[in-house]
Chains A and B, each alone.
Chain A
Amino acid sequence: MATSTVSRTRPSRPARHPGRPANRVRRQLPTSPWLFAAPGLLVTGAFILYPFASTVINAFTDRRTLIPGRFVGLANFRELLHDDMFWTGLRNSALYVLGVVPALVILPLLLALLVQKNVPGITFFRSAFYTPVVASIVVVGLIWVWLLDERGLVNSLLETVGVGKVGFLSDQWLLLLSAMAVTVWRGLGYYMIIYLAALANVPRELHEAAAVDGAGAVRRFLTVTVPAVRSTMVLVAALASVSAFKVFSEVYLMAGPNGGPAGEDTTLVMLVQRTGTGLTGRVGYASAISLVVFVVTVVLMLLVLRADRREDS
C-alpha cells in the first residue's frame, strides 16, 4: 500500500539508480542538453546565424571584397531606390512568382491524380516525371538551351511547320518565359510526390458518395479533391513562392551571366551575385539587396499563410 501511495503522489521522479547519488544527476541537467545540442548549434551558428548577421551588418557599410567597410547608414538602401537594375531584378523576380507559382500549384496536382491510378507501367511514368528533379540543374539548363537555340530542335520544328524562328533565347520576355517553363517542368515531379502523399489520405468513400450523387469527374475534383488537399496546396504555394522569388540557376544558364539582352532578365539573386562577387565586388550593396530579398520572402510566406487562415475561417 505504501508503495502505491508514493507512486501516486510522486509519479514524475524516476527511479534512482543504485549507487548513484540523486544530486549528481540534477547537477548535470542544465548543461547536458546544451552539450547534446552543441554540434547542431555550431553548424547553425557558423552557416546560418553568422552569415545572416554578417549580411545585416554589411548592408549598412560600404564594404568591398578586399576593402573593409565603413558604416554608411541607409546609403545602400537609398541607392537601391535609384538603381534601375534593382527595379528590373525586383520586377523579374515578382513576375517569376506570378508565372511559376500557379502552374506549380495546379499542374503537379493534376499529374498526381494521373499517376495515382494503379495501371500497368505507371511506376515508369512516376519515375520519369521525377527524373528532372534529380537531374543536375546545369545539365537541364544546357539541354534546354540547345533545344531552344535558334538552330535548335524546337526552332527547326517551328520552321518546318511554317511558323519561322522564334527568339526564345534572344527576346527579353520569351527568355523569361522559357526559364519559367524550365522551372515548372523541373518542379513538377517534386510537388507531384507531395500531392501523391496528400491524395493517399483522401477517403475513397467521399469520391464514391459524390459519384453516387451524380457528380462528374470535374465536379468531384473541385468539391472533393481540392478541399481535401487544400492545406497541401498552401504548402506547395509557399515553397514554390519562396524558391521562385530566389530563382538564379535557370535564368543564369539560359540568359547568360549578364541576365539576357541588356540585363533585362536579371533577377534579384543574380544581381546579388553580380554585384557582390569578384575582386571588386560591392559586398555592402549586395548585402542590402540580399536583405530586401529576405524581407520580401518573409512577406510572401506570411501572405500565403494568411490567405490559408482566411479560407479556414
Chain B
Amino acid sequence: MPISRRAFAAAAFTALVLPLSACGSGGDGGGSTDASGKVEGDITFQTWNLRANFKDYFEGLVADFEKKYPGTHVKWVDQPAEGYADKISADAAGGTLPDVVNVSPDLVAPLAKAGLAMDLDKAAAQYKAEYLPGAWAGHQIPGMTGTYAFPWYLNTGPLFYNKTLFEKAGLDPNKPPKTYDELFSDALQMADKSGGKVATLANIPTIEDFGRYGVPLMNKEGTAFAFNDPKGVELLTKYKQLYDAKALDPQALTATPESSGKKFLTGAVAMNPGSALDLDNFKKQAPNLYKNIGITDQITSTGHVNMYVMGLMVNARTKHTPAAVAFAHYVTDAEHQMSFAKKVAIFPSTAGSLDDPYFTKEDGTDETRVRIAAAKSLKNAANYTPVLFSEQMKTALRNEVAKALQGKQSPKAALDNAVKACDQLLKQQG
C-alpha cells in the first residue's frame, strides 16, 4: 500500500509542520502610520458590550461618519463583556483584529508590545490637545514611547452604603466613613453589633485599593512592582483584622464584583463601590434598599479617586489608516463623547467637557447628584491599575492576599511573594 503510506506521511508531516508556522515572525507588518491620505475604504469597528443598550446611538454615529466621508463603510461589531480579552487575543493571534477596537489600558499594553496598536503620537498627534492630558497619557506604556489609543469615556463611582444597617449597628447613617481609619473602625463595630452576620466590605484589597491607600505600586522606571512597602503591609494587616472579625465577608476570598453586588443588594454587606448606573439597578431589584441608600465619596488617602479609562485603539495593520484614525477620532471627539455621556452615566475625556452644565448643575435628583460628584472628582482622578498589570498578575496578588487573610502567611511575606511573582511575570512579558 505505497499510496496510503505516502498519504499518512504527508498528513503527519502537515500536522507537525503547520504548528511550527505559528512560531514564525508574527505577521506581515501591515499598514502605515500615515493618516494624511484620503479618508475612504471599508473598516471594522468593535465595541465592548454596548450594542444591547446603545444600538441606535452607534448606528447613527456610523451613518453620520459615512455621510461625512463618502467612500467609507464602517462595519460595527460588538462583543459581550465576558471573555472580551480572550476574543481580542484570538483575533490578534489570528490576524483578524478589527481596524478600530474598544480597549482599556491593560488590554492595549500587550497589543502595543506585539506591534498591533498604532502609535497615535505619530499618526494623530494633531488631536492630542483635544483630550485631558491625563487621559491621553492613559494609554502610554512604560518602557515604550508613544500613545496607543484615543481616550474615550471615563468612569468612576461613589461608595454606596446601607443606612438601615448603619443605624442598627449604632452608627450615624448620615456620617459615613471618610477616611480609612473611620472605615475600619465602623466595619469592626458593624461586625460586633451584628454578631458577625453583617460585613461592611465584600472584597479583598486589589491593586486599586493599594493605590488609593497611598502605596507605591511600581518603581519610577515602571520596571518592577513595589507594593510590598510598609504602607502596603499596613493595609493588608488592617484587612486581616477585618477578616478575623467578620467585618470583611467570609466569602470575600472567592468573591467577584458581581457576587459582591448581590450581597449588597440582599443586605448581607453594608458598603459597596459602584457607579451612577447602579442606582437604577437598586431601584428595580431592591426598592427597600433604594429607599435607604447612602452615597458617599470613594475613600482615598492620596486625594485622587480611582477612575476607569476606555480607549479606542487603531489596528497598526489596518489597510485604511486614514479612515481608521479619522473614525476613532470622530467617535472620541468632544461632540460625540458629550452626546454619548447624555445617554449613559459615563464621563468624557475631552478637555473642557466636564465643565458643561450637565456635569455641574444640580437638579435635585440622586442621579444628578452622583453625576456631579463623580465629574468633580474625575478632574484629578487617577487610574491606579498599572497598564502592565496583567490578569495573571491580578491572580498572583489575589492568591497571596488570600493566604495572608487566612493566616497562612504574614502580610509582609504575602506581599513579598506577590511582588516576586508579578516581577517574574513582567519579565516574561518582555
Contact = CB atoms under 8 A, between A and B. Distances in A.
Nearest to A171: B250
A299 interface: no
Contacts of B111: 66, 279
A1 interface: no
A262 B392 contact: no
- Taking residues whose C-beta sits less than 8 angstroms from the other chain, chain A's interface range is 35 or more
B15 A50 contact: yes
B392 A54 contact: no
A58 B21 CA distance: 11
Contacts of A62: 428
A57 B399 CA distance: 30
B254 interface: yes
Interface string B243-264: 0000000110111100100000
A66 B19 contact: no
Interface in A260-290: 260-263, 274-275, 277-282
A182 interface: no
A34 B406 contact: no
A293 interface: no
A258 B254 contact: yes
A99 interface: no
A278 B425 CA distance: 14
B11 interface: yes
B16 interface: yes
B214 interface: no
Nearest to B426: A280
B116 A262 contact: no
Contact of A68 (B3, B26, B251): B26
Interface in B71-94: 85-86, 88-89, 92-93
A53 B93 CA distance: 18
B18 A169 contact: no
A63 B93 CA distance: 12
A68 B27 CA distance: 10
B113 interface: yes
A66 B14 contact: no
Nearest to B86: A277
A185 to B, nearest CB: 21
Contact of B254 (A31, A151, A169): A169
A45 B11 contact: yes
B268 interface: yes
A53 B250 contact: no
Nearest to A41: B11
B11 A280 contact: no
A58 B23 CA distance: 9
A34 B3 contact: yes
Contacts of B26: 66-68
B393 to A, nearest CB: 9
B11 A49 contact: yes
A54 B19 contact: yes
A167 interface: yes
A57 B19 CA distance: 7
Interface string B14-41: 1110111011111000000000000000
Given A262-B408, A279-B111, A66 B4 contact: no
Contacts of A52: 15
B19 A53 contact: yes
Which one of B24, B268, B428 has the highest number of Cβ atoms from chain A below 10 Å of its Cβ?
B428
B89 A278 contact: yes
Given A30-B1, A57-B19, A170 B251 contact: yes
Nearest to B90: A65
A255 interface: yes
Contacts of A263: 395, 398-399, 402
B390 interface: yes
B14 A67 contact: no
A150 B20 CA distance: 50
B2 to A, nearest CB: 8
Contacts of A274: 391-392, 395
Contacts of B425: 280
Contacts of A170: 250-251, 253-254
B87 to A, nearest CB: 10
29 contacts: A30-B1, A30-B4, A50-B19, A53-B15, A54-B18, A57-B20, A65-B89, A65-B92, A66-B89, A66-B110, A66-B116, A67-B114, A68-B22, A150-B251, A150-B268, A170-B253, A256-B254, A258-B254, A260-B254, A261-B253, A261-B402, A262-B399, A262-B403, A263-B402, A278-B390, A279-B110, A281-B89, A282-B392, A282-B428
Given A53-B15, A151-B266, 16 more contacts: A41-B11, A49-B11, A54-B22, A66-B93, A66-B116, A68-B25, A70-B23, A150-B250, A150-B251, A255-B254, A258-B395, A262-B253, A262-B406, A263-B395, A263-B402, A279-B107
Interface of A: 30-31, 34, 41, 45, 49-50, 52-54, 57-58, 61-70, 85, 149-151, 167, 169-170, 175, 255-258, 260-263, 274-275, 277-282
Q: Which 3 A-B pairs have the closest CB atoms?
A: A54-B19, A261-B253, A66-B114
